[in-house]
Amino acid sequence: MSSSFVRIPDDSGYSGPRIRTFTTTDGGNTVHQHAMVLVDQNGNPITPTNPSDTQPITGTVSVDNFPATQPVSGPITDTQLRASPVPTTLSGLTTKALNNQIVATDVGLVSQTVIHGLTTGGGGGYVEVKVTPSGAVVADTSGSTQPISGSVSVSNFPATQPISGSVSISNFPGTQPVSASSLPLPSGASTEATLALIKAKTDNLDVALSTRTKPADTQNITGSVSVSNFPATQVVTGIFFQATQPVSIASPIVSKTTDEQTLTGVYYYHAGALTVQAAADAATAGRFWVINPIGSGGTIRIKSIEFASQLGSALAAPTSPRITIERVSFTGTSSGATLTAAKRKTSDATPKSILTTASTGLTLTAGSVIMSLLPIASATAVGYTASAVEKWKPDINDRIELVPGEGIVCRQADTGTTSDTRRFTIDITLEEF
């Protein structure tokens, strides 16, 4: 920094107040200087001080260029920090009134603060929340049920406890010892006070005690006896029932003539007037068929077949060709001429079975012979011969049963006589389920 100067005229001849001046050379220039003595209000000289010395200050000092942030050196001890309250300003925080709850999203700083909690009791008062020296919260749980692990010792528990209701004890012994100073006796027991009185009673016995009936003896009972502990089930030995027992039932027993299937109707078929031919029928040919159509959903049973034969004219017919009833199975749908069955009752359902005189529409498979019949025979053409009649009527358990796709066929199994005129008829009774 360069020096600043104030020029003062030389007034060496001035005799009044004056400032001492002196001359010196500075940079080749003659400089006039002066000196001042500072005095206080009393006129006493003031000794100048070094600016770096500590100065006492009275009043207030305004510093307009003091930095907002000041460096601090050296650690502050806990004693120094606690010596006096340290004002602290925290920026960037939002104040919140801690009314009756603090939620998980509340963030704040609490220092030397007493925490109060809202009680669950009536009135909703507040109590202080206490902690142990280790920092654990002390909870008052006297008003709630607490789980206990281990054993609990109670010093003032009464030896005898009143019990209300029932108590189940699993380890209670089945037999208990009983101690009593005296026991109650049943009415009339030990009423005789002296042996003399007892003797007087026994002397009055008219027979020996050995002749008296004992409890183990068989007793005759007249009237009714009520036994409350008699077992519901009694063991019985020996034969105690008669060979034939009376039976009482609410409704009569019906003897069935069929099995448990539902009968839908009984039907009668007449095949018409048939003639014995000179040639036998082919294996799958015949005079008529009775079939159970495929898809009928029912069962057919043959109850009976009646065969009758007679000469149609004066003829010597020494042959006896068999007329057979055979089983047959088939596929397809019958489209041949049919004959109508007669119903047992008009209320019976329409028959599922079909009697057809032609096998049109059916593909047949020959089965076995069920029965065979012989037509009437004649040795000469002179005179008359009674009709030949045969009837086949099997037992209920032996009846032929036809399911859908099955049937029977009537056919001539053997050759007859040339120009044979013998006639025969076949009547069939069947039932459907």
First to last CA, the chain: 143
How far apart, in whole angstroms, are the C-alpha atoms of residue 111 and residue 115? Answer: 11
Q: How far are the Cα atoms of 280, 308, 367, 382, 399 from residue 277, in angstroms, in the given order?
A: 7, 16, 22, 21, 30
- Do the bridges between strand 354-356 and strand 265-270 make them parallel or antiparallel, or are there none, so unpaired? unpaired
SS3 128: strand
Are 299 and 405 within 8 A, CB to CB?
Answer: no
Flag whether pLDDT at 282 surpasses 80.
Answer: yes
For the chain, what are the domain ranges? 265-432
Read off the pLDDT of residues 230-266 as tens digits, 9 standing for 90 and up.
777 877 777 666 677 777 777 766 665 555 678 999 9
In the structure encoding, which two tokens stand for residue 204, read together? 């009055």
**Band (328; pLDDT cuts 50, 70, 90):** very high
Read off the pLDDT of residues 345-389 as tens digits, 9 standing for 90 and up.
999 999 999 999 999 999 999 999 999 988 887 767 776 667 788
Flag whether pLDDT at 129 surpasses 90.
Answer: no
How far apart, in whole angstroms, are the C-alpha atoms of residue 124 and residue 69? Answer: 48
pLDDT of residue 16: 47
Q: How far are the Cα atoms of 19, 48, 251 from residue 36, in angstroms, in the given order?
A: 8, 11, 158
SS3 77: coil
Are 310 and 423 within 8 A, CB to CB?
Answer: yes
User: According to DSSP H, which parts of 137-280 are helical?
Assistant: 195-202
Which CATH number applies to 265-432: 2.60.40, 1.10.760, 2.60.120, 1.10.10? 2.60.120
Are 100 and 118 within 8 A, CB to CB?
Answer: yes
Mean pLDDT of 169-182: 77
Q: What is the DSSP string of 281-343?
A: PPTT--SEEEEE-TT----EEEEEEEEEEE-SSS--B-----EEEEEEEEEE---S-EEPPEE
SS3 411: strand
In the structure encoding, which two tokens stand for residue 274, read together? 């048939």
Q: Give the type of residue at 66.
A: F
pLDDT of residue 310: 84
Read off the pLDDT of residues 64-88 as tens digits, 9 standing for 90 and up.
777 777 777 767 777 776 677 666 6
Q: Report the Cα 235 to chain-centroid distance in Å.
A: 44
pLDDT of residue 71: 74
Instruction: Indicate whether this model's pTM tops 0.75.
Output: no
Flag whether pLDDT at 210 surpasses 50.
Answer: yes
Mean pLDDT of 270-280: 91
How far apart, in whole angstroms, are the C-alpha atoms of residue 372 and residue 392? Answer: 10
